[in-house]
A and B are shown apart, each in its own frame.
Chain A
Amino acid sequence: MPTSATPSASATRYAAPDATGHFGPYGGAFVPEILVPALDDLKAAYAEAQADPAFDAQYRHLLREYVGRPTPLSFADRLTDHLGGARIYLKREDLCHTGAHKINNTIGQILLARRMGKSRIIAETGAGQHGVATATVCAKFGMDCVVYMGSEDMERQALNVERMRLLGAEVRPAVSGSKTLKDATNEAIRDWVTNVGDTFYIIGSVVGPHPYPMMVRDFHRVIGEETRAQLDDVEGRETPDAVVACVGGGSNAIGIFYPYLDDTDVDLVGAEAAGEGLNGRHAATLSKGTPGILHGAMSYLLQDAGGQVELAHSISAGLDYPGVGPEHAHLRDIERVDYRAVTDTEAMDGVKLLSETEGIIPALETAHAVALLPDLAQQYPADAVIVLNCSGRGDKDMATIATYA
């Protein structure tokens, strides 16, 4: 571990979740009884793994030798000049093997699955990045893999479907409801309920029942930990003035935010998907949602007056989800993170901005965070530092980008 958070002595250390997996009122484990023993086993196995230096060593080894960590913290000089404000750094998760941060988590979870003696892996995926990251580690470890994906997403992320198949995974379409990430998650949970004995469910974001939100966060905190050390090297300080990341379920955002939560002088900004606008179809759960329970946890939720889950909309399949990780709900309520909503059109501008100034085509998800940079750069003085979590590369989105009017 390169470094650790150094909050002032007087500050109360951030300590969520509690022993039962609650982040303030959020989180928990709202699951059918069949999954209770599975989650108990998982909690025990994870606690054991955390206490075992060999587990951490294997995880770190794979991150270094297989994923390609540490990922660079690149100074975005032309973007900084172009925006004419604070200096912008990019945490290059797009350079991780498979093209996004998602693999940090799938490496961690597959090591756990093997420790627990599970033979079969299932996952849900929206944009396909988590599906690819899961199929990849399954290929690497020779394990059976089934990925559930909304049939609409299979169409708009066809490239990732082919990647998963090439990696040996079976991609099963979810055809109910909105045919996107929410429904893929329903199907994955149904599979898990049915095959709970031999199956490990690799959840792709900081969502789902306890201990997933905590565990997935822990497997991604390496992003923020590296950022601290790298920033110290180039700027002589571990803490930037602001960190910005996109939030769907919220895994890349938590990964880079978490090691900064106790540094209250660091502004944390999350970009969620406003789709066609907050008065139209959108996926801005934290801006427009209300507390509710979906997929095993209490969090903010897009729902109607009767508590039925509403369909989300975003141009980005990875953000097209009516829920959000419970820790983000908590961080919103305690006002530690400032969540802002970014429209499809603004995100598309973000794609162009980063592509043209830095030669980096970001994923549509990441582009939502990029879209906040012009305003943010102006909010801070020229000697301030902003870190953008460049969570994924945009190759998978070329079809969507090319056809966007």
Chain B
Amino acid sequence: MSRLTDTFTTLQQRGETAMGLFLTNGFPNPESTVDLLHAIDAGGADFIELGMPFSDPLAEGLPIQRSSARALQHGVTLADAFAVVRKFRERSETPVLLMGYINPVYRFGVEAFCEAAAAAGVDGLILPDLPPDEGALIDDAAQAHGLDVVYLIAPNSTDERIQAVDERATGFVYAVSMTGLTGSAIDGVDRVSAYLQRARRLVTENPLLVGFGIRSHEDAQHLSTHTDGFIVGSVLINEVERLWDETDLPLQERLQAVEVFARTLKHGAPAAEATG
């Protein structure tokens, strides 16, 4: 049983939905990443996606494009991502997936990458430009090192395709909420709901999570009616950017604000926070 599967099983038993949160490694700077992971962990993230920045992130909207560019200006590498996870693991067992484009992974060496990731305490991989059709590049190495490989589906995926992705994926199936980039506005909750209901019916082997365009607790509640959970990235990136661009704010206050932001995404506005 992987850490990720355990997490979903536990949440399911409790009747709770999972919240996955995305942060770019090295954003806003390499020194803050581990602290930020702990802050969102404390704020209720059930798993974390750590973004491996790439020079040409072609499925990303502006927030993650910006965070990637900023991280790369700091010279962040894959080795840094492993170090961050290793450090995070000293204090937390919350699952961590590495998310990023295939080229840096390929350049690193797929086998060496999976080995180093697993050794650092990484639980799985999300590689948005590696569809299952090209997945042979990584599936064996990932499996050998006990890493889940999450594949994605989209509103325009056929039923057959969704079933095939479910067959191939481990960890969970990532339902992209709309045809668009990360951080784009969701076009009509009803349309997305219909698609997620279809996906719910077809995804039988894995938990189903929805991501892209979720900006609030209300969005998350709406969309996760039909899924096992939701994933948020761009609005969190925007919030971190805002907090770090405010120059005279002490680090602890920034981290505290990020924790509250995460908790609010999960449980709603602070008034309802007492239960959390």
Point out residues on A near B: beta carbons under 8 Å: 20, 28-34, 36-38, 176-177, 182, 186, 189-190, 193-197, 290-296, 298, 301, 303, 305-309
Contacts and interface: CB of A to CB of B under 8 A. Distances in A.
Nearest 6 A/B pairs, CB to CB:
A307-B107, A307-B104, A33-B152, A34-B154, A308-B55, A32-B59
Contact of A193 (B59, B134, B165): B59
Contacts of B151: 33
Given A194-B181, A197-B179, A306 B107 contact: yes
B30 interface: no
A307 B102 CA distance: 9
Nearest to A196: B179
Nearest to B127: A30
B245 interface: no
B146 interface: no
A301 B134 contact: no
Given A28-B134, A193-B59, 10 more contacts: A28-B133, A30-B131, A30-B134, A32-B131, A33-B151, A36-B131, A176-B69, A197-B156, A307-B54, A309-B55
Most chain A CB inside 10 Å of its own CB: which residue of B102, B107, B153, B157: B107
Given A30-B130, A296-B129, A309 B153 contact: no
A186 B103 contact: no
Contacts of B134: 28-30
Nearest to B107: A307
Interface string B159-202: 00100010000000000100111001000000000000000000
B225 to A, nearest CB: 22
A29 B78 contact: no
B264 interface: no
13 contacts: A28-B133, A32-B154, A32-B176, A33-B128, A33-B176, A37-B161, A176-B69, A177-B56, A186-B56, A195-B179, A292-B107, A293-B129, A306-B108
Contacts of A301: 103
B103 A309 contact: yes
A194 B184 contact: yes
Interface in B37-95: 54-56, 58-59, 65, 69, 72, 77-78
Nearest to A311: B55
B181 A303 contact: no
B104 A306 contact: yes
Nearest to A178: B55
A309 B56 contact: yes
Interface residues of B, number: 38
Contacts of B116: none
A299 to B, nearest CB: 11
B180 A307 contact: no
Contacts of A36: 131, 133, 154, 157, 161
Nearest to A194: B180
A226 to B, nearest CB: 36
A33 B58 CA distance: 12
Contacts of A33: 128, 131, 151-154, 157, 165, 176
A182 B106 contact: no
B179 A30 contact: no
Contacts of B56: 177, 182, 186, 294-295, 309
A140 B154 CA distance: 34
B105 interface: yes
B158 interface: yes
Given A33-B152, A36-B133, A294 B179 contact: no
B65 A176 contact: yes
B133 A20 contact: yes
A190 B61 CA distance: 8
A298 B56 CA distance: 14
A30 B54 CA distance: 15
Contacts of A290: 107
Most chain B CB inside 10 Å of its own CB: which residue of A176, A182, A293: A293
A194 B155 CA distance: 12
Nearest to B152: A33
A37 B106 CA distance: 25
A36 B158 CA distance: 10
Nearest to B130: A30
Most chain A CB inside 10 Å of its own CB: which residue of B153, B154, B165, B179: B179
A307 B129 contact: no
Nearest to B133: A29
Nearest to A298: B106
A292 B55 CA distance: 13
B248 to A, nearest CB: 30
Contacts of B129: 30-32, 293, 296
A347 B56 CA distance: 29
A36 B151 CA distance: 13
A308 B54 CA distance: 6
Contact of A308 (B72, B128, B156, B176): B72
A400 B276 CA distance: 64
Contact of B176 (A34, A195, A197, A296): A34
Contact of B180 (A28, A29, A193, A296): A193
A366 B133 CA distance: 37
Most chain B CB inside 10 Å of its own CB: which residue of A20, A28, A37, A193: A193
B131 A190 contact: no
A307 B179 contact: no
B131 A37 contact: no
Interface string B112-146: 00000000000000001111011000000000000
Contact of A292 (B59, B103, B128): B103
A41 to B, nearest CB: 10
B154 to A, nearest CB: 4
Contacts of B105: 307
B179 A194 contact: yes
Contacts of B176: 32-34
Most chain B CB inside 10 Å of its own CB: which residue of A28, A31, A307: A307
Given A20-B133, A33-B153, A190-B181, A307 B106 contact: yes
